[in-house]
Structure 1
Amino acid sequence: MRAIENLFQSPVVVAASSLSLADDGLFPEERAHVENAVAKRRAEFGTARMLARKALAELGAAPVPLVPGPDRAPVWPQGYTGSMSHCADFCAVAVARSREVRSLGLDVEDLRQLDPSLLELVLTPTERRWLQAQPEDVRPMLPITLFSAKEAYYKCQYPITRGFLDFQDVELAIDPGAGTFEARVVRAGWSDAVARLGGRFVVADGRVHCGVELPQAGA
């Protein structure tokens, strides 16, 4: 979990665990949301809610249902913001008080080679040229890091803009040695508040973890 804590500089609480069925711990509204889902999906959904309530409790929040909105994005209690992510058998949640952090984006991915057929979909031409210039021994695992960084950025910007972006709309400048990146929207007319955001990534325990935060002004 320390890998995730290191992703954020703002006052953020994180919780993480392996996936498990948690149907009995869900509110009725939450159970109704996944009652027809397969066991794996229920485990993803339930584990995320258990972890989110645990993290929110550390900030003083009372336990409440966390049912996604019509756009499938998490709806956080008034006064809080957060982000959820899961991969094959792991789930992580990051939450913060909205008076300190305006928005968060967290993504976790199993460390793996991205299918070559996806490279042109995920990476911009500039990113593909950058990839080819990297040392051959690290090159195979960099695309999944770029993928995860874009996912984390997207999750952070979405509550601000409610706008959808394709992978090609976001271009990254990444520093593998420092574990940092900057995401820049190359589509014209995007909100200045999130058009360029910095983030961090950590590779640990067979996963890549990426985080992006938008602190409140003056926080």
Structure 2
Amino acid sequence: MIENILPAGVASAELLKYPPDLTAYPAEEHLIAKAVEKRRRDFIGARHCARLALAELGEPPVAIGKGERGAPIWPRGIVGSLTHCDGYRAAALGHKLRFRSIGIDAEPHAELPEGVLDSVTLAPEREWLRDTDSPLHLDRLIFCAKEATFKAWWPLTLRWLGFEDAHITFELEDNSVGAGRGTFHSKILVPGQTNDGGTPLASFDGRWQIVDGFILTAIVHV
């Protein structure tokens, strides 16, 4: 599913059913030694997907550590992103020579919990929600796009990006019941200096889809 919103050159893998024989690599085990079972499954499943994606890129399987803000530590020359929600884990990776950063996110296609919307959206985004007639849970779509935005932003800046620091706008290519797809634009509202000496970040462009009960978003920044 996730591959449908990723460009050529980005390797991906996803896991819906959790195989009983999956285990963490020994060098990863200390990161989840005290984690509850659900957290262990999400951690192991997402990293299993990452190793499948590494193989697609011609790279060997390796332990994937955890850095600041929980960001995965990729092998040299690789950029990527992990995501998980109930019933779904995925990874998307690419070579750093082709892509500056990747951010993906997955969420259940369901309304945000009560009281969450105002804390994760800007006033113009809430106005768009009020004005847009759609059977889709667009509130959760905004949240999902902002999560992908942060994941694409973080490795290039190593700075926090709050929900209030990005304004998301959407193009809805399909607006049918229970499904959808389109593009989104994430305008960064804070200074975007990067730590790789590249062009400062003013915005990201991404793709989204809703399929089989999941919202998926992806940003691949070049």
Q: Residue in 1 aligned with 2:176?
A: none
| Runs of 4+ more than 6 Å apart | none
Q: Residue in 2 aligned with 1:148?
A: 144
Q: Residue in 1 aligned with 2:31?
A: 33
1:173-192 residue CA offsets vs partner (Å, 9 max, x unmatched) = 111226011001123x2235
User: Which whole-Å CA distance do the structure 2 matches of 1:170 and 1:10 have between them?
Assistant: 26
Moved more, 18-27 or 32-41: 18-27
Alignment of 1:129-208 (within 5 A): 129-135=127-133, 137-138=134-135, 141-177=137-173, 179-187=182-190, 189-191=191-193, 193-208=200-215
Q: Residue in 2 aligned with 1:69?
A: 67
TM-score by length of 2: 0.89
Assess if the C-alpha contact under 8 Å between 1:82 and 1:105 holds in 2.
yes
Assess if the C-alpha contact under 8 Å between 2:172 and 2:182 holds in 1.
yes
User: Which whole-Å CA distance do the structure 1 matches of 2:82 and 2:141 have between them?
Assistant: 17
The structure that is helix-richer by fraction is 1
Shift of 1:198: 0.5
1:28-68 residue CA offsets vs partner (Å, 9 max, x unmatched) = 12112111111111100111111111110111111111010
Letter in 1 for 2:215: V
> 2:121 matched to 1:114?
no
Letter in 1 for 2:164: Q
Please list every run of 5 or more consecutive structure 2 residues that lacks an aligned counterpart in the other structure: 174-180, 194-198
Shift of 1:22: 6.6
TM-score by length of 1: 0.90
Q: Residue in 1 aligned with 2:216?
A: 209
Q: 1:127 to 1:70 in 2, by over 3 A?
A: closer
Please list every run of 5 or more consecutive structure 1 residues that lacks an aligned counterpart in the other structure: none
1:110-166 residue CA offsets vs partner (Å, 9 max, x unmatched) = 10011241111111001111111111x43x600000000010011001100111011
Q: 1:24 to 1:172 in 2, by over 3 A?
A: closer
Letter in 2 for 1:143: D
Please give the root-mean-square deviation of Cα atoms over the aligned residues, in Å.
1.7
Assess if the C-alpha contact under 8 Å between 1:19 and 1:44 holds in 2.
no
Secondary structure at the counterpart of residue 71 of structure 1: helix
Q: Residue in 2 aligned with 1:81?
A: 79
Aligned residues: 210
State the identity as a percent.
34
User: Which whole-Å CA distance do the structure 2 matches of 1:201 and 1:21 have between them?
Assistant: 27
Structure with bigger RCO (C-alpha 8 Å, 6+ apart): 1
